[in-house]
Amino acid sequence: MCTLDELATRAPQPLAVRLLGRDLAIADLGPGDAVEPFASVDRCPHRSTRLSVGFVDRGGDAVCAGPSLRCAYHGWRYGPDGGCVEIPAMPDGPIPGRAALTTFAAEVAYGLVWVCLDAEPAAPIPPHPAWADPELHVVPGAPYTWPVSAPRRVENFVDLAHFAWVHDGTLGRRDAPVPPIPEIRREDGELRFAFDPPDMATAAEALFGHSSYRLPMPLTVDIEFFLATGARRRLWMTASPLDARTCRTFWAVSRDDDLDGDDAQHLAFQQVVLDEDQPVVANQDPPEIVLDPALEVSIRTDRVSIEYRRWLRELSTPAECRHEAPQEQEARRM
């Protein structure tokens, strides 16, 4: 994944990204102002130069009517389907059949480019309710990369017990360390639950109040906050797995109050929260989430995490092999 701004800033060169351990080149092969994302392996099959150091050739001609991708080394030219359409050193052909790129489906949503490495997506792009809500002012934050797996990053967002300890005075209080245990339900391919924070004074820019959580599986969290003032705000995030041990998080905050206020102040508060989280979340060992219930100790107040991990196991385990481990049964009773 990448942002449209990142893609535009890199133009006319493609953008190098990493997804699930694969190096990709992302380019815009749309005509004019229309964005048509193109995603392929970041490697020319001729002499293995990274395509991300090449460029988008917008000079359409009889060979390729629209924009195409040029390799920087020998100028081999690839069309939107990944097939080689021109070899400058051999203008009369023939073009070898193996001169083609492995391409992947790419789509634009919420100012981001989403890439699917499978032939068919297992799930749709997760919803971002604030994006289409005319009452909300949406402010994207700067993406950030942490040395932790994407599921670990998501789990941190829904870990209710850490608020009091990691965010003491920001989102929680250490003298009120016991969080409520929410009722968790599955609905429309999501985990959903509600949370009420302890009474405390917070910054005006804080996302703090009765909260409605939605987790479109497997790596997105959307939280709607209802402030004591009557204002409504949201925090949306999705964690893109660069590999098994690293993720890049894309996020946005939105609000229906303080519409003329300084967006930077709202982002700055979230940066405070991130700076509190990063030292502990990025130092989990192993950085991959532990799905074997025997390897980490869970307690009753880890209910959301237990349900999230159970759902992750279900996504990767055949139905006939699923069961609740004794450790989980014990945690649910505690």
State the pLDDT confidence band at 163, using cuts at 50, 70 and 90. Answer: very high
Q: How far is CA 334 from the centre of its chain?
A: 33
Kindly tell me if the per-residue pLDDT of 322 is higher than 90.
no
Kindly tell me if the per-residue pLDDT of 327 is higher than 60.
no
At 242 the three-state DSSP class reads strand
Q: How far is CA 159 from CA 30, 165, 269, 290, 308, in A?
A: 41, 11, 19, 15, 10
Kindly tell me if the per-residue pLDDT of 297 is higher than 80.
yes
Q: Picking from 122-126, 244-248, 277-281, 283-287, which range would have the lowest pLDDT averaged per residue?
A: 122-126
Model pLDDT for residues 39-98, shown as the tens digit of each residue: 999 999 999 999 999 999 998 788 888 999 999 999 999 999 999 999 999 999 899 999
Kindly tell me if the per-residue pLDDT of 308 is higher than 60.
yes
Joined tokens for residue 255: 């609000």
Model pLDDT for residues 115-129, shown as the tens digit of each residue: 999 988 888 999 999
Joined tokens for residue 245: 């041990």
pLDDT of residue 123: 87
Give CATH 3.90.380.10 domain extents, the chain. Answer: 129-320
pLDDT of residue 329: 57
pLDDT of residue 60: 76
Beta carbons within 10 angstroms of residue 82's beta carbon: 17
pLDDT of residue 93: 86
Note the CATH architecture for domain 2-116: 3-layer Sandwich (2.102)
pLDDT of residue 147: 98
Kindly tell me if the per-residue pLDDT of 321 is higher than 80.
no
| Mean confidence (pLDDT) of the chain | 93
Decide if domain 129-320 falls under CATH 3.40.50.150.
no
Beta carbons within 10 angstroms of residue 153's beta carbon: 28
Distance (Å, whole) CA 83 – CA 121: 23
Joined tokens for residue 41: 């392996």
Kindly tell me if the per-residue pLDDT of 31 is higher than 80.
yes
Kindly tell me if the per-residue pLDDT of 162 is higher than 50.
yes
The better pLDDT of the pair 323, 205 is held by: 205
Q: What is the mean pLDDT of residues 299-317?
A: 93
pLDDT of residue 61: 84
Q: What is the mean pLDDT of residues 244-253?
A: 98
Kindly tell me if the per-residue pLDDT of 330 is higher than 80.
no
H or E element: which one contains 225? strand 220-226
Cβ burial of 304 (10 Å; 0-12, 13-18, 19+) is buried
Kindly tell me if the per-residue pLDDT of 251 is higher than 90.
yes
Q: What is the mean pLDDT of residues 240-247?
A: 98
Contacting residues for 271 by C-beta, under 8 A, at least 6 apart: none
Kindly tell me if the per-residue pLDDT of 164 is higher than 80.
yes
Beta carbons within 10 angstroms of residue 242's beta carbon: 22
Give CATH 2.102.10.10 domain extents, the chain. Answer: 2-116
